[in-house]
Structure 1
């Protein structure tokens, strides 16, 4: 398989992004959303992240978007302004080919270049070994599990919390 192109997302990519996320909502436990957002809502979310200066990337193969990743605010309060939460989603046929790791590595670099100091992964479902493994291999450490906080597909689900320092992390004060 040829290597994917990883690049900043554009509005033209959002139909494909919406389709990838729709499948994740309807068939997976990586997200705890129950109803897939439509293109209008996904466009609103994209615009909000872009307006906030956050990185949003897509992976494309032969001109077709096959995955995406973005970082957004971890929490809305100002003291969290140097911390981001990441999301990575792939088209179902593309899983386990290293593309998620490539997206995450580039996302880490983009967030670090923007001056963020910590990245948090909130991984849906403690059985999501693929996502936990990709995050571990890219320098995230386990910080805890919230047991039984989501209910989807007739069962209780955990969230796994992982964290990675970006740049100097907490060893120096950030530039204000």
Structure 2
């Protein structure tokens, strides 16, 4: 399998959505209970890539034809092939086998601009094939690139009279080009019924250089059981 990592485009959203739906409905890796609309993912993509200037990447098999992600979509949405199938990939369309992006951490507060949160999901049919490792290596390289800047924003009250607010593009960098990334956070759920009691993913992050910064016990409830949340931190200056 030949995998390429490239920037995501809006055309990738249906396949990203299908992968996202799978993890929402079938796992506890996300605390979401219900699938989000594709339009929400498209808005999120635009905010991350175009407004914030943060990396949003996909792992693809180039031009291999009908993407398996549509199979995920059909199973999740009750789509009947040939009747209400939303789309079919052409012979040259890339197959998205994973995606990853960096998003603001507490993005409404400017002081957090140098810290971003990692999201990374791999198509279930392509796990244990180094897709996740390749995606993380690529997103880390983007974070370390001095040209990558977080265009952080803050809502500020004008005039002190309480009459409205304005969204200002306040850039945190001293050179006026946005905030350089210092910290990458990974916030993961620990499912006691998962591999190695839910600790396998934690070990994966630690092998990549993350350190555990905190753990909240029994913080979420999904699929009939209480779940912990672990905060992991990757400091780019250490």
The TM-score, its normalising length taken from structure 1, stands at 0.90
CA distance in 2, matches of 1:109, 1:128: 28
Q: Which residue of 2 aligns with 1:6?
A: 5
CA distance in 1, matches of 2:106, 2:36: 21
Q: Which residue of 2 aligns with 1:87?
A: 119
Once the two structures are superposed, residues 97-120 of structure 1 have per-residue CA deviations (whole angstroms, 9 ceiling, x without a partner) of: 111111011111112222200100
Task: Say whether residues 1:72 and 2:103 are aligned partners.
Answer: yes
Once the two structures are superposed, residues 112-145 of structure 1 have per-residue CA deviations (whole angstroms, 9 ceiling, x without a partner) of: 2222001000012254444323311211011121
CA distance in 2, matches of 1:92, 1:147: 27
Taking CA–CA contacts closer than 8 Å with sequence separation of 6 or more, which of the two structures ends up with the larger relative contact order? 1
Root-mean-square deviation (Å):
1.3
The TM-score, its normalising length taken from structure 2, stands at 0.67
Q: How many residues align?
A: 167
What is the SS of the residue equivalent to 2:143? Answer: helix
What is the SS of the residue equivalent to 1:142? Answer: strand
What is the SS of the residue equivalent to 1:29? Answer: coil
Native 8 Å contact 1:30 1:128 kept in 2:
no
Q: How far 1:3 sits from its partner (Å)?
A: 3.3
Counterparts in 2 of 1:137-156, with a 5 A limit? 137-156=207-226
Structure 2 segments unaligned to the other structure (5+ residues): 63-93, 149-179, 192-196
CA distance in 1, matches of 2:30, 2:131: 19
Structure 1 segments unaligned to the other structure (5+ residues): 170-176
Q: Which residue of 1 aligns with 2:32?
A: 33
CA distance in 2, matches of 1:10, 1:130: 31
What is the SS of the residue equivalent to 1:36? Answer: coil
What is the SS of the residue equivalent to 2:213? Answer: strand
Task: Say whether residues 1:119 and 2:184 are aligned partners.
Answer: yes
CA distance in 1, matches of 2:221, 2:198: 15
Higher Cα Rg, which structure: 2
Q: Which residue of 2 aligns with 1:132?
A: 202
